């Protein structure tokens, strides 16, 4: 991707005498023993679009949440227009002219688009009567300015993520927010939607606002932004004008070491096919076919929203699908039956650890044994003793760091939570493991532990389907890479041929035949 | 479990099973607080209220709270999954009326009672169907079926009452074991109690119930049949309510459409008082039993002390509010102690 | 991009559905009245029939309005029946203990009293963050208990109350019962507020997504307090009118009304999950509920069956709402596909 066209139209603004619009210096934040942000720094200038990039767990979200007033910093400086600020709530941050557009905006589904834009600050006339005409006129004006054609009278329910983001932006503009922060806004958008968003972003910049754009996609960073700041392991690494850097340079800053050393997949004998998926279709994905063989790690790459997790969920039976078959070891698995999939030897470590993987308020022991509760029961009965025995075995095999098995899972660090989820599913002794974002939000040390474990499991003959948004992880671990784009598998690349360029190309570009 | 990381196992860490000693885990619980309160109230009542200490009081107390005790068992399970069933008292009324109408119509009492139980199961299935298949909130559904089932009961019998039941059965409902003061029906309850304790606390099904209440998504991803489990629990609640209805009929020798009106609120109050969270996922049977008994003991003692019997309403209500507010307050205190920054540690791993 | 954005076809249809929901319940009411009138013309075409048609639901309409506001915020108030009972008894006591007290003063005192009881509910819900269902179940008991303790086996009879006051309960102005006028005025005011003011819209926002309401910086606590205070105050007002209408008040006045009020709101299209519905719908729901009760005997159905019909109606209403919601979501998704 080093040949990505540099599309920076404007030169970054010259350092002015006036202080930057927003400035963070050595900001830190910990949660108990977990350090989420060691030393975050950032300078946002007026009339510029600034990219913030870094791997998952680099501390970007924490930084944003401090700016948004959701968290209070433990240390460091936070200045707005040169004046030190400290937000205790989102309302304070908003009042100071900061607006955050999240990846998945929160709107009121039952209310109209217009009401959503103005909730809590509607224009009122006599007797406190809301001036609906004025409100609608302003929304029309806003939408015209942003160049979007959303019906202002429809309820927010059912709007696409892109449209919801536009409404959030309209809200920010009508509030006259000077700083707009977009947290991975393009993750779930289609190409056309991304173009529209970028147009809006540029026009906002030209009005003199400061925009912070958080993204994983280098092509977008180079296409849109003026300056880029890289973070790694909770700390600031560097800020560079976009014209003075390259994709390779940014990757080096993000990873901090040579990519290939990080993820050793030991060679394993690849044997008979285990998981065979054929022609799987649903409204979210189309005609998905692939095979996972014993001893093999298959990487499933693609952008967030390409339909990878949806496929995994359908294969495991958590979601229904319309057409197609799933077979394991030659035997068909009925659709929409996670229990049947489990019995057949399939396991799914889901994407959202805290919501889908764990019962957060339950103990480590209960979590580890939840999926095997029926197999460890004797004569249909189960006791805490049985659970503790099984849990102890898996906790020690995976070296979960906790004192007692009765510890509530939600209090563990992200890495240890992931180990508990892994233990829970390895305890079912699966033949095929589907693992969705195996290392999202966990520390570097645990990360390599997880990778070593996956490699060992494959070495013992397990088939592994690994969904990952981190290219180095996919390239380092997978024997074969499948790439998905907009609900379809667009490429299948062998380990030896896979490069970040061809994987990324398949993930972002429709194949020649289509366009 | 052979195929995994033996290397890791070699340097096995040691894990304690629990982070608190046994006595703390047993004694410092909400359930124990309620049990202690029951004991305290009983002792005080026995010492100060004339007649409370008499064995006959215990008999009547147990007979009086028996319907609540019975229905509280399945209600506990339903509420731990995060649902609620407001229609139980109406099912009591309907099964009572069905038993009466069928017996009066010439069927043997035993057959009539079985039909009533089946009808209770069907009522529960209707609730379960609307909640799990149609996907409606259980609060709204069971407010509707509360009126519907009660309406069917009243409609079938009007304001009349059927009082002609076999003496054998009506006597049995009030009978005591041998010369003691232990009512025979207590054994029916004890059998069910054991069944429900085992079901909730010692089976994979019970583990699933808690998982559903705490996180529906995680339960589903772990192979728990969320909808099926809830459906079964609603059917159980209907059946046990019908059983309570048959007992109610025999105990008072009367089948009426308005039998047990308002009982659903007493059952729910007792269950919540016993430590079951309305958000689901928390609670235990022994606490619930203590909750029912607390209300029973208080009302019995106050009645004997010649306080208006309905004063118990204030106490039930106040206890209910106090118990939930206290829980919130304690949780808030604990949170503040653990995280002086004001942000609970549990949020740590969302940051990234 | 044109200067004005037209309403899309889908939006128009959705607005139609929303209107249809309330219109449908009104139509059902009309059908019930029509059927009963055909069976017995006196149901509508007699002085008493006309009066009862308007008068009977008036008190429940007030309680249902308060309930609707609370439910729209994704809460529920089960204590309204007990508040109504306490307020009714308080009304009687005021007339007995303070001979010659102005009727207006009694109204004010009872409404404030009801509002205070509602404030207790609201404070417990908003500050202790305990589900309203549990809190109001507790205060249902507690308030009724206080009522029983206060009333004992005492009873207030019509002879204890001033004639002028009782006249309110049955009196009419131009063929319209005074109680109905009060109910309609309250309905119009609350309906206007819920539709046209910031505060009113915030009730909907909070019920639609409580987490988003916090993020928007809405004053959620204050809104919840207001919702419960309004519900309590309206139950208090209903208590005074109850005393005026029936004259006899014992310790059980208003018991069971909470379920009628919730039922009326649900029948009228107020979603138990919050954010959807209107006080108009709830009021029509209350009207339909009590009119059916009166119509059944005339239609040859013993009135013992009325509760069954009410139950069937509630379930029918929520199933219908569910079907409509699913269809709406599909329509909105289709509209989104069309845009592409």
Which segment of A399-403, B182-186, C301-305 scores lowest on mean pLDDT? C301-305
Looking at the fold, whether A92 and A184 belong to one and the same domain comes out as yes
* Local confidence band at C215 (pLDDT 50, 70, 90 cut-offs): confident
Contact B5 A398 (CB under 8 A): yes
Give residue-wise pLDDT tens across range B72-91. 999 999 999 999 999 999 99
What pLDDT does C16 receive? 58
CB-CB neighbors (< 8 A) of B339 in chain A:
31-32
- Cβ-Cβ contacts under 8 Å, A318 against chain B: 220-221
> A277-281, A418-422, B94-98, C20-24: which range is least confident on average?
C20-24
A157, A194, A199: which to substitute to probe chain C, counting the most C Cβ within 10 Å? A157
Domain that holds residue A120: 108-158
The shortest C-alpha distance from A428 to chain C (Å) reads 37
Residue C275 to residue A109, Cβ atoms within 8 A: yes
Q: Do A128 and C197 touch (CB under 8 A)?
A: yes
Say which of C135, C149, C319 has its CB closest to residue B311. Answer: C149
DSSP state of B165: -
Q: How far B311 CA lies from chain C's nearest CA (Å)?
A: 5
In a domain, A140, yes or no: yes
Do A382 and A329 share a domain, yes or no? no
Shortest Cα–Cα distance, C216 to chain A (Å):
7
pLDDT of residue A56: 65
CB contact under 8 A, A402 and B15: yes
A contact chains, 3+ CB pairs < 8 A: B, C
Query: What pLDDT score was predicted for residue B352?
Result: 32
A221 shares its domain with A277: no
**Which pLDDT belongs to residue C15?**
59
C251 and chain B in contact, CB less than 8 A: yes
Last residue of a domain, one of A205, A237, A256: A256
Confidence of residue C2 (pLDDT cuts 50, 70, 90): very low
Residues 320-339 of B with CB under 8 A from C: 320-321, 324-325, 327-329
Q: Tens digit of pLDDT for each residue in A253-282?
A: 877 655 445 566 777 788 899 999 999 998
Are residues A97 and A184 both part of a single domain? yes
Contact B214 A362 (CB under 8 A): yes
Range ranked top by mean pLDDT from A35-39, A190-194, C132-136, C278-282: C278-282
Q: Distance (Å, rounded) from C-alpha C112 to C-alpha C130?
A: 25
- Determine the pLDDT at residue A1: 36
Question: Which one of C190, C212, C269 makes the best mutation probe of the A interface by having the most chain A beta carbons within 10 Å?
Answer: C212
For A235-244, what is the mean pLDDT?
89
Residue B48 class from Cβ within 10 Å (0-12 exposed, 13-18 middle, 19+ buried)?
A: exposed
Quote the mean pLDDT of chain C.
85
The reply to whether A222 and A324 lie within a common domain is: no
Which tokens belong to A262?
């990080």
Region B336-352 average pLDDT: 40
Residue A383 has pLDDT above 50, yes or no: yes
Q: Which of A316, A370, A399, A439 to mutate to test the interface with B (most CBs of B within 10 A)?
A: A370
Q: Is the pLDDT at B2 greater than 50, yes or no?
A: no
pLDDT exceeds cutoff 60 at B46: yes
Query: How many Å lie between the alpha carbon of A458 and the closest alpha carbon of chain B?
Result: 10
Residue B348 in this model has a pLDDT that exceeds 60: no
> Which residue, of A209, A229, A256, is where some domain finishes?
A256
Do A185 and A292 lie in a common domain?
no
Tell me the percentage of chain A whose pLDDT exceeds 90.
Answer: 28
Q: Chain C contact for B130, CB < 8 A?
A: yes
C319 reaches B (C-beta below 8 A) = yes
Do A234 and A372 belong together in one domain? Answer: no
* Domain total of chain A: 4
As for the ipTM of the complex, it is: 0.83
CB A230 within 8 A of CB A254: yes
- Does A119 contact chain C (CB < 8 Å)? yes
Asked if the Cβ–Cβ distance from C208 to A109 is below 8 Å, we say yes
Contact, C199 vs C227, CB < 8 A? no
Determine the Cα–Cα distance for residues A473 and A251; give it in Å rounded to an integer: 13
Do B149 and C141 lie within an 8 Å CB cutoff?
A: no
Task: Give the H or E element holding residue A260.
Answer: helix A259-262
Query: What pLDDT is attached to residue A253?
Result: 80
Tell me if B135 and C306 make a contact (CB, 8 A cut-off). Answer: no
Q: Per-residue pLDDT tens for B105-160?
A: 989 999 999 999 999 999 999 999 999 999 888 988 998 899 899 999 998 888 88
Q: A-B interface: how many C-beta pairs under 8 angstroms?
A: 181
Q: What is the pLDDT of residue A94?
A: 85
Distance from CA of C6 to the nearest CA of B (A): 35
Least confident of A380-394, A494-508, C52-66: A494-508
How many Å lie between the alpha carbon of A139 and the closest alpha carbon of chain B?
A: 34
**Closest Cα to residue C137, out of B125, B208, B320, A10?**
B320
Overall average pLDDT of the C138-163 stretch:
84
On whether the C10-336 domain is CATH 1.10.3470, my answer is yes
SS3 letters across chain C: CCCCCCCCHHHHHHHHHHHHHHHHHHHHHHHHHHHHHHHCHHHCCCHHHHHHHHHCCHHHHHHHHHHHHHHHCCCCCCCHHHHHHHHHHHHHHHHHHCCCCCHHHHHHHHHHHHHHHHHHHHHHHHHHCCCHHHHHHHHHHHHHHHHHHHHCCCCECHHHCCHHHHHHHHCEECCEEHHHHHHHHHHHHHHHHHHHCHHHHHHHHHHHCHHHHHHCCCCHHHHHHHHHHHHHHHHHHHHHHHHHHHCCECCCCCCCHHHHHHHHHHHCCCCCCCCCCCHHHHHHHHHHHHHHHHHHHHCCCCHHHHHHHHHHHHHHHHHHHHHHHHHHHHHHHHHHHHHC
A44 and A140 share one domain: no
- Give A-chain residues touching C198 at CB under 8 angstroms: 120-122, 124, 128, 130
**Binary contact (A158, C212; C-beta < 8 A):** no
Residue-wise pLDDT tens digits, B201-235: 999 999 999 999 999 999 999 999 999 999 999 99
- Please give the interface size between A and C, counted as residue pairs whose CB atoms are below 8 Å apart: 105
Pick the most confident of A372-386, A489-503, B88-102. Answer: B88-102
Asked if A154 and A184 sit in the same domain, the reply is no
% of chain C exceeding 90 in pLDDT: 33
In this structure, are A26 and A94 located in the same domain? Answer: yes
pLDDT over 80 (residue B306): no
The answer to whether position A39 is within a domain reads yes
Task: State the CATH number of the domain containing residue A498.
Answer: 3.40.50.300
**What average pLDDT does this structure show over B52-58?**
83
Is A151's CB within 8 Å of C5's CB?
yes
B270: its two tokens: 């007792």
Residues of chain A positioned with their CB less than 8 A from the CB of B203:
377, 380-382
- A10 found inside a domain: no
Distance from CA of A140 to the nearest CA of B (A): 37
Residues of C within 8 A of A110 (CB-CB) are 204, 207-208, 275-276
* Residue of A55, A319, A373 to mutate, testing the B interface (most B Cβ within 10 Å of its Cβ): A373
Domains of chain B, with CATH numbers?
Answer: 40-320 (1.10.3470)
Min Cα distance C311 → chain B (Å) is 4
Q: Report pLDDT for A2.
A: 39
The pLDDT of residue A8 is above 60: no
Q: Are residues A180 and A74 in the same domain?
A: yes
- Chain A hits for C333, CB-CB cut-off 8 Å, are 158
Q: Is residue A17 assigned to a domain? A: no
Task: Confirm or reject contact between A266 and chain B (CB < 8 A).
Answer: no
Q: Taking a contact as any Cβ pair under 8 Å apart, which residues of chain C between 179 and 238 contact chain B?
A: none
Assess if residue A15 is contained within a domain.
no
pLDDT tens digit string along B267-297? 988 998 898 988 889 899 999 999 999 988 8
* Residue with the larger pLDDT of the pair B206 and C313: B206
A34 → chain B, closest CA residue: B348
Residues A252 and A121 in one domain: no
Q: Per the domain annotation, does A472 fall within a domain?
A: yes
Residues 6+ apart with CB under 8 A from B87: B123, B127, B142, B145, B146, B148, B149, B264
Nearest by CB to A354, which of B198, B207, B350?
A: B350
Burial of A148 (0-12, 13-18, 19+ CB in 10 A): buried
Is A147's CB within 8 Å of C1's CB?
yes
Per the CB < 8 Å rule, is C217 touching A160?
no
Smallest CA–CA distance, residue B215 to chain A, in Å, is 6
Question: Which of A7-16, A260-269, A354-363: highest mean pLDDT?
Answer: A354-363
What's the rounded mean pLDDT across residues A239-263? 74
Asked if A71's CB is within 8 angstroms of B222's CB, the reply is no
Find the range with the poorest average confidence among A62-71, A362-371, B195-204, C77-86. A62-71
Q: Which residues of C touch A106 (CB under 8 A)?
A: 209, 211-212, 215
| Average of per-residue pLDDT values in chain B | 85
**Nearest CB to B147 within list C129, C141, C259:** C259
CB within 8 Å of C32: residues ≥ 6 apart: C288, C291, C292, C295
Last residue of a domain, one of A226, A256, A286: A256
Q: Does B255 score more than 70 pLDDT?
A: yes
Using CB atoms, which residue from A59, A355, A441 is nearest to B349?
A441
**A103-117, A174-188, A222-236, B313-327: lowest mean pLDDT where?**
B313-327
Confidence band (pLDDT; 50, 70, 90) for B340? very low
């Amino acid at each position: 991707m080093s040949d990505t066209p540099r599309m920076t139209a404007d030169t970054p603004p010259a350092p002015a005498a006036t202080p930057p619009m927003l400035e963070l210096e050595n900001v830190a934040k910990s949660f108990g023993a977990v350090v989420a942000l060691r030393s975050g720094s950032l300078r946002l200038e007026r009339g510029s679009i600034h990219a913030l990039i870094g791997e998952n767990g680099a501390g970007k979200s924490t930084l944003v949440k401090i700016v948004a007033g959701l968290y209070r910093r433990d240390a460091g400086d936070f200045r707005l227009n040169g004046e030190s600020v400290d937000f205790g709530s989102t309302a304070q941050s908003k009042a100071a002219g900061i607006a955050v557009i999240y990846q998945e905006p929160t709107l009121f589904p039952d209310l109209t688009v217009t009401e959503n834009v103005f909730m809590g600050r509607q224009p009122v006339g006599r007797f406190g009567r809301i001036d609906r005409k004025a409100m609608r006129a302003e929304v029309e004006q806003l939408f015209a300015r942003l160049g979007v054609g959303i019906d202002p009278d429809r309820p927010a329910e059912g709007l696409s993520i892109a449209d919801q983001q536009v409404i959030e932006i309209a809200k920010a503009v009508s509030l006259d927010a000077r700083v707009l922060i977009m947290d991975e806004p393009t993750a779930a958008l289609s190409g056309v939607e991304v173009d529209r968003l970028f147009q809006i972003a540029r026009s906002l910049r030209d009005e003199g606002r400061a925009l912070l754009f958080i993204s994983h996609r280098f092509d977008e960073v180079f296409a849109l932004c003026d300056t880029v700041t890289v973070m790694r392991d909770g700390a600031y690494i560097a800020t560079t004008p976009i014209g003075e850097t390259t994709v390779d340079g940014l990757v080096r800053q993000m990873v901090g070491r040579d990519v290939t050393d990080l993820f050793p997949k030991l060679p394993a004998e690849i044997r008979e096919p285990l998981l065979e998926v054929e022609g799987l279709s649903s409204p979210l994905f189309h005609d998905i076919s692939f095979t996972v063989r014993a001893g093999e790690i298959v990487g499933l790459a693609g952008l967030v929203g390409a339909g990878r997790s949806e496929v995994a969920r359908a294969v495991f039976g958590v979601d229904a699908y319309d057409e197609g078959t799933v077979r394991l070891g030659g035997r068909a698995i009925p659709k929409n039956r996670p229990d049947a999939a489990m019995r057949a030897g399939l396991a799914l470590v889901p994407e959202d650890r805290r919501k889908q993987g764990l019962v957060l308020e339950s103990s480590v022991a209960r979590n580890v044994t939840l999926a095997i509760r029926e197999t460890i029961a004797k004569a249909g009965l189960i006791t805490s003793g049985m659970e503790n025995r099984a849990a102890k075995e898996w906790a020690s095999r995976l070296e979960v760091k906790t004192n007692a098995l009765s510890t509530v899972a939600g209090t563990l660090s992200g890495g240890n939570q992931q180990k508990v989820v892994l233990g829970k599913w390895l305890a079912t002794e699966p033949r095929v493991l589907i693992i969705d974002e195996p290392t999202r939000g966990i520390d570097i040390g645990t990360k390599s532990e997880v990778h070593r474990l996956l490699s060992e499991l494959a070495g013992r003959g397990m088939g592994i389907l690994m969904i990952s948004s981190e290219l180095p992880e996919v390239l380092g671990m997978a024997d074969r890479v499948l790439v998905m784009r907009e609900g379809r598998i667009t490429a299948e690349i062998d380990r030896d041929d896979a490069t970040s360029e061809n994987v990324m190309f398949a993930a972002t570009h429709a194949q020649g035949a289509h366009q | 479990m052979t195929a995994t990381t033996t290397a890791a196992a070699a340097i096995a860490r040691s894990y304690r099973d629990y982070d608190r000693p046994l006595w703390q885990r047993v004694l410092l619980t909400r359930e124990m607080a309620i049990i202690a309160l029951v004991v305290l109230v009983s002792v005080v009542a026995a010492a100060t209220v004339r007649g409370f200490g008499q064995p006959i009081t215990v008999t009547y107390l147990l007979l009086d709270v028996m319907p609540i005790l019975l229905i509280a068992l399945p209600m506990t399970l339903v509420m731990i999954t995060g649902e609620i069933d407001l229609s139980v008292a109406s099912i009591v009324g309907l099964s009572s009326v069905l038993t009466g109408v069928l017996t009066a119509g010439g069927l043997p009492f035993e057959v009539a009672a079985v039909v009533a139980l089946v009808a209770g199961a069907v009522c529960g299935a209707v609730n379960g169907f609307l909640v799990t298949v149609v996907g409606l909130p259980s609060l709204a559904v069971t407010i509707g079926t509360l009126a519907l089932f009660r309406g069917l009961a009243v409609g079938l019998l009007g304001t009349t009452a059927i009082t002609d039941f076999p003496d054998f059965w009506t006597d049995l409902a009030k009978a005591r074991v041998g010369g003691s003061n232990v009512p025979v029906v207590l054994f029916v309850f004890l059998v069910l109690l054991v069944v429900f304790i085992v079901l909730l606390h010692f089976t994979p099904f019970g583990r699933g119930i808690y998982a559903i209440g705490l996180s529906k998504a995680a339960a589903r991803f772990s192979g728990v049949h969320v909808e099926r489990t809830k459906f079964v629990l609603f059917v159980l609640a209907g059946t046990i309510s019908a059983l309570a209805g048959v007992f109610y009929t025999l105990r008072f020798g009367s089948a009426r459409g308005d039998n047990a009106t308002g009982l659903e609120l007493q059952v729910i109050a007792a269950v919540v008082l016993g430590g079951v969270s309305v958000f689901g996922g928390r609670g235990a049977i022994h606490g619930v039993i203590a909750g029912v008994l607390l209300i029973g003991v208080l009302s019995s003692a106050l009645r004997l002390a010649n306080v208006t019997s309905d004063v118990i309403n204030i106490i039930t209500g106040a206890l209910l509010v106090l118990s939930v507010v206290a829980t919130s307050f304690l949780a808030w205190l604990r949170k503040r102690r653990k995280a002086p920054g004001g942000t609970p540690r549990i949020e740590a791993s969302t940051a990234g | 991009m044109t200067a004005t954005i037209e309403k899309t076809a889908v939006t128009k249809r959705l607005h139609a559905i929303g209107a249809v929901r309330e219109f449908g319940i009104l139509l059902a009411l009309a059908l019930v009245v029509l059927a009963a009138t055909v069976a017995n013309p006196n149901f509508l075409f007699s002085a008493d029939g006309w009066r009862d048609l308007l008068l009977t639901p008036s008190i429940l309409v007030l309680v249902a309005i308060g309930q609707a506001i609370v439910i729209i915020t994704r809460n529920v108030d089960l204590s309204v029946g007990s508040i109504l009972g306490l307020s009714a008894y308080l009304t009687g006591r005021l007339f007995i203990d303070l001979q010659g007290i102005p009727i207006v003063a009694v109204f004010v005192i009872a409404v404030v009293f009801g509002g205070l009881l509602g404030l207790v509910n609201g404070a417990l819900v908003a500050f202790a963050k305990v589900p309203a269902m549990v809190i109001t179940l507790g205060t249902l008991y507690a308030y009724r208990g206080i009522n029983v303790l206060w009333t004992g086996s005492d009873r207030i009879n019509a002879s204890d109350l001033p004639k002028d006051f009782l006249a309110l309960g049955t009196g009419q102005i131009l063929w319209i019962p005074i109680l109905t006028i009060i109910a309609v005025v309250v309905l119009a005011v609350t309906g206007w507020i819920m539709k046209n003011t910031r505060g009113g819209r915030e009730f909907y926002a909070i019920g639609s997504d409580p987490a988003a309401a916090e993020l928007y910086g809405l004053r959620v606590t204050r809104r919840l307090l207001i919702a419960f205070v309004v519900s309590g105050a309206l139950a208090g007002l209903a208590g005074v009118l109850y005393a005026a209408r029936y004259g006899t008040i014992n310790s059980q006045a208003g018991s069971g009304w909470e379920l009628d009020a919730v039922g009326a709101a649900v029948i009228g299209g107020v979603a138990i999950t919050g954010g959807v519905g209107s006080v108009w719908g709830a009021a029509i729901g209350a009207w339909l509920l009590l009119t059916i009760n009166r119509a059944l005997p005339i239609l040859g159905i013993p009135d013992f069956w009325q509760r069954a019909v009410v139950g069937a109606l509630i379930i029918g209403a929520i199933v219908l709402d569910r079907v409509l919601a699913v269809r709406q979501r599909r329509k909105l998704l289709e509209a989104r596909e069309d845009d592409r």
